[in-house]
Each structure stands twice: as C-alpha cells, then as structure tokens.
C-alpha cells in the first residue's frame, strides 16, 4: 500500500478462518488503520489481492461485501444524532443507514429488540443517544452490527475513552459475546495487551507497516516480540488468562494489567478472508 510516495503497508500476508477471533496490535503508525480500511473496502491496495468471504477485491461488488464486514469505530459515533434512541441506532444497521427518519416496525423492530437483548441493553431501548454512556454506546453499536448480520465484526479500539471500571465491564461483555454461537468472527484492534481476552486465539502484530509476528496468541504476545515491535524493553506476564506488561521508565518498574474474565469457547471453520501480496 503506497500513498503519496510513502509505503504504508508492505508484504502483508494474512488469513482469517471462519470463527477465528483475532487481535491486531501495533504501535501508533504501524499500519493498523490502513489495514482495516483495506479489509473493509474503503482503501484500494496498490498491489496484491484481498479476498473477503471467498470474493476477491476488484472482481466482486465491494459494496455488497462491505455489508458483511461490520466495523465498530469511534468515528461513527459522531454521525449519530442525539435524539436517536438506542433502538433506532440498532435498527439502522439492517440497511447500513444512519439516523432513521421513521421508527422501525414489524420484523425489523422485533429483530432490533432481540439484538439489544443480545448486547445486554434491552433496558436502554428508548434512551436517546445523547444520554448513553461511552460503554453503552459501544454495546449499542455492536448490536447495530449484529442486526446487519455481518460475517466479520471489527472492534477498532473499542475501549478508548472508557474509565478502568467501565472498560473492564465492557471487556467482560465482549468475553460473553465471543462465547456465543451467534457471534461472527471478531477482530479486536488495540494498543493494550491487558484488553486481550481468552476468547481471542490469534494475534497479528504490526511494526512499521509490516507483519512482525502472527499466529497463536501465546506465541505472538511475548516479551521479545512486544519489546521489538514497540521499541522498548518490557516483560509480558500472563495471569489468570489475561496479559500484563511490565516495563521500566526512568529506573522505576511499572505494570499495566487487566482483571480476570471468563474464558470463551473457540470454533473452527473455513477461511473468512485473506490478504496476499503480489509476487514480484
């Protein structure tokens, strides 16, 4: 991927099997956002091929494929009007709309209510967007993605802006979501290893636009790999199924940690999508 003469991504070769749950990590500027934009069809790669759900970019209607890949990102929150209720926001996901001008009815209304129950927000159905907390908004946006029946769901730094307690509650919700048979592939993008839950079995670690490491979580999230990818000496600890980082700043030892959550079941299946560089 080249933009303005700068190579942003290079040599990316990544495959996600159906029902695999992945984490994408990397320092600022490592290429995480650009990779997501490629997968969701908002950016055209300069070379190579991208295949989503068996369809190749450029040889299939990308607008239709995009409807099968959900993206929960902070960017969408600013486009939702304050009077829209949680139920309106969820229902709008069916046809990839924003800000419904009429209330959902019939089957769509029933499905939107069901989706709100799945994300544990049934009690918020009639609450306006303006009065939802940050964590509640993230859950409602996930409900919006579920009602759209996406095959892949990308959570782009969903804990940004949450206080420690709200973050942990949200992560426990994601853990329960990941254990549900109705949940599509989850791809969780973060800077923080303490947000990685047991329901994620694979990791992709980026450095300077390249894949530094990928594969099973415990083989990727190591002291050596994380230190080299982020450019700082650190120790990765694993306690009660959750990762912690321990590093020194000005001679003082600091630990970043999360709280324990329940493990989620993992499922196997055919490939969901892949990105392969063009052979030279």
Question: pLDDT for 153-193, tens place per residue?
Answer: 999 998 888 888 988 989 998 998 888 877 889 999 998 99
Q: How many domains does the chain have?
A: 1
Q: Is residue 137 part of a domain?
A: no
pLDDT, residue 252, reads 61
Q: Is residue 117 part of a domain?
A: no
* % residues pLDDT > 70 (the chain): 87
Q: Is residue 195 part of a domain?
A: yes
R_g over Cα of the chain: 19
pLDDT, residue 246, reads 87
**d(C-alpha 219, C-alpha 225), whole Å:** 9
Domain of 250, CATH number, reads: 3.40.50.300
Q: Is residue 208 part of a domain?
A: yes
Rounded mean pLDDT, 117-140: 92
Q: Is residue 102 part of a domain?
A: no
Instruction: Give me 82's structure tokens.
Output: 């304050």
Q: Is residue 26 part of a domain?
A: yes
**d(C-alpha 269, C-alpha 151), whole Å:** 12
Residue 130 pLDDT > 70: yes
172 phi and psi, to 5 degrees?
-65, -35
∠ CA 201-202-207 to the nearest 5 degrees?
A: 150
CB 247 within 8 A of CB 235: yes
Q: Is residue 199 part of a domain?
A: yes
Rounded mean pLDDT, 78-100: 87
Beta bridge partners of 243: 238
First to last CA, the chain: 14
The predicted-structure confidence for 222-243, as pLDDT tens digits, reads as follows: 999 999 999 989 999 998 889 9
Beta bridge partners of 149: none
Residue 275 pLDDT > 80: no
Q: Is residue 231 part of a domain?
A: yes
pLDDT, residue 47, reads 80
Q: Which residue has the higher pLDDT, 220 or 251?
A: 220
pTM above 0.85, yes or no: no
> Domain range spanning residue 8?
2-68+151-276
pLDDT, residue 274, reads 57
Handedness of CA 180, 146, 49, 74 (dihedral sign): negative
pLDDT, residue 71, reads 84
41, with CB counted inside 10 A (0-12, 13-18, 19+), is: middle
Go through the chain and tell me how many residues it has. 280
The predicted-structure confidence for 11-50, as pLDDT tens digits, reads as follows: 888 999 888 999 999 998 888 888 888 888 777 777 888 8
């Amino acid at each position: 991927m080249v933009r303005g003469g700068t190579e942003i991504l290079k040599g990316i070769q990544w495959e996600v099997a159906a029902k695999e749950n992945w984490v994408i990590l990397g320092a600022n500027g490592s290429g995480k956002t650009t990779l997501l934009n490629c997968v969701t069809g908002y950016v055209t790669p300069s070379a190579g091929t991208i295949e989503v759900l068996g369809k190749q970019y450029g040889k299939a209607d990308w607008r239709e494929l995009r409807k099968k890949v959900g993206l929960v990102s902070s960017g969408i929150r600013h486009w939702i009007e304050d009077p829209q209720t949680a139920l309106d926001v969820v229902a709008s996901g069916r046809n990839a709309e924003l800000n419904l001008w009429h209330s959902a009815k019939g089957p769509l209304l029933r499905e939107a209510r069901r989706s709100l129950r799945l994300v544990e927000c049934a009690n918020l159905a009639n609450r306006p967007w303006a009065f939802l907390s940050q964590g509640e908004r993230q859950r409602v946006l996930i409900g919006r993605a579920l009602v759209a029946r996406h095959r892949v769901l990308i959570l782009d730094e969903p804990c940004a802006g949450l206080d420690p307690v709200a973050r942990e509650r949200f992560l426990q919700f994601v853990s329960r979501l990941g254990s549900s048979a109705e949940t599509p592939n989850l791809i969780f993008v973060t800077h923080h290893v303490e947000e990685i839950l047991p329901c994620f079995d694979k990791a992709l670690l980026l450095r300077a636009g390249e894949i530094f490491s990928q594969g099973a979580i415990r083989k990727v999230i190591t002291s050596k790999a994380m230190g080299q990818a982020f450019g700082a000496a650190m120790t990765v600890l694993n306690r009660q199924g959750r990762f912690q980082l321990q590093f020194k700043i000005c001679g003082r030892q600091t630990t970043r940690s999360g709280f324990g959550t329940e493990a989620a079941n993992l499922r196997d299946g055919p490939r969901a999508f892949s990105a392969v560089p063009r052979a030279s």
